[in-house]
Amino acid sequence: MQISGKTALVTGGGSGLGAATARRLAAEGALVIVVDRDADAATAVAQEVGGIAATADVTDETAIANALNTASATPQIIVNCAGIGTAARVVGREGPMSLDAFRTVINVNLVGTFNVCRLAAARMAEAGLAGTIVNTASVAAFEGQIGQAAYAASKGGIVSLGLPMAREFARFGIRVNTIAPGIFVTPLLGTLPQEAQTALAAGIPYPSRLGEPDEFARTVQFCVEMDYLNGEVIRLDGATRLAPK
Which three-class secondary structure string do you get for 15-54? CHHHHHHHHHHHHCCCEEEEEECCHHHHHHHHHHHCCEEE
CB 240 within 8 A of CB 203: yes
Give the residue numbers spanning the domain of 146.
Answer: 7-184+213-234
- Distances, alpha carbon 65 to alpha carbons 36, 76, 116, 135, in Å: 14, 14, 8, 18
Is residue 195's pLDDT more than 70? yes
Residue among 20, 13, 24, 21 at smallest CA distance from 70: 13
With bands split at pLDDT 50, 70 and 90, how would you rate the model's confidence at 188?
low
More confident residue, 199 or 44: 44
> Would you say residue 240 lies in a domain?
no
What is the number of domains present in the chain? 1
pLDDT, position 194: 82
> In 3D, which of 227, 217, 148 has the Cα closest to residue 184?
217
- Given a cut of 90, is residue 141 above it in pLDDT? yes
Instruction: State the average pLDDT for the chain.
Output: 95
Q: pTM here?
A: 0.96
**Amino acid residing at 212:** E
pLDDT of residue 34: 98
- pLDDT 10s digits, 157-186: 999 999 999 999 999 999 999 999 999 998
Please state, for a pLDDT cut of 70, what percent of the chain lies above it: 98
Residue 91 to residues 94, 106, 147, 194, Cα–Cα distance (Å): 8, 18, 9, 30
What is the band of 113 on the pLDDT scale with cuts at 50, 70, 90?
very high
CATH number for the domain harbouring residue 75: 3.40.50.720
CA atoms of 206 and 216, how far apart (whole Å): 16
Does some domain include residue 198?
no
- Residue 88 is assigned to a structural domain of this protein: yes
Sheet holding 131-136: strands in order across?
A: 52-55, 31-36, 7-11, 77-80, 131-136, 174-181, 233-236
Instruction: Give the range among 23-27, 81-85, 218-222 with minimum mean pLDDT.
Output: 81-85
pLDDT (tens digit, 9 = 90+) per residue, 32-57?
999 999 999 999 999 999 999 999 99
Return the active site residues. 151
Closest C-alpha among 78, 111, 113 to residue 7:
78
With bands split at pLDDT 50, 70 and 90, how would you rate the model's confidence at 85? confident
Q: What b-and-e string marks burial along 108-118, b requiring 16 or more CB atoms within 10 Å of the CB?
A: bbbebbbbbbe
Of 141 and 200, the one with more pLDDT = 141
174 Cβ contact list (under 8 Å, min separation 6):
121, 124, 125, 130, 131, 132, 133
Residue 205 lies in a domain: no
Q: Find the Cα–Cα–Cα–Cα dihedral 88, 89, 92, 98, rounded to 10°.
A: 60
pLDDT of amino acid 196:
72
- Give the residue among 72, 18, 26, 71 at the shortest CA–CA distance from 50: 26
pLDDT at 191: 63
**Whole-number pLDDT of residue 115:** 98
Instruction: With respect to residue 221, please indicate whether it lies within any of the assigned structural domains.
Output: yes
Residues 103-113: what's their mean pLDDT? 98
- Sign, CA dihedral 124-128-129-132, equals positive
204 part of a folded domain: no
Whether 174 contacts 124, CB under 8 Å = yes
Give the model's pLDDT for residue 200.
Answer: 83
CA atoms in the 13 A half-sphere facing the CB of 166: 20
pLDDT of res. 192: 65
- Asked whether residue 189 is assigned to any structural domain, the reply reads no
Compute the distance between CA of residue 217 and CA of residue 231 in angstroms, rounded to an integer.
Answer: 18
Per mean pLDDT, which range of 14-28, 63-77, 117-131, 182-196 is the poorest? 182-196
Q: Is 39 within a domain?
A: yes
> In the predicted model, is pLDDT for residue 150 greater than 70?
yes
Q: How far is residue 58's CA from residue 43's CA, in Å, rounded to a whole number?
A: 17
Q: What is the pLDDT of residues 221-233, one digit of tens each?
A: 999 999 999 999 9
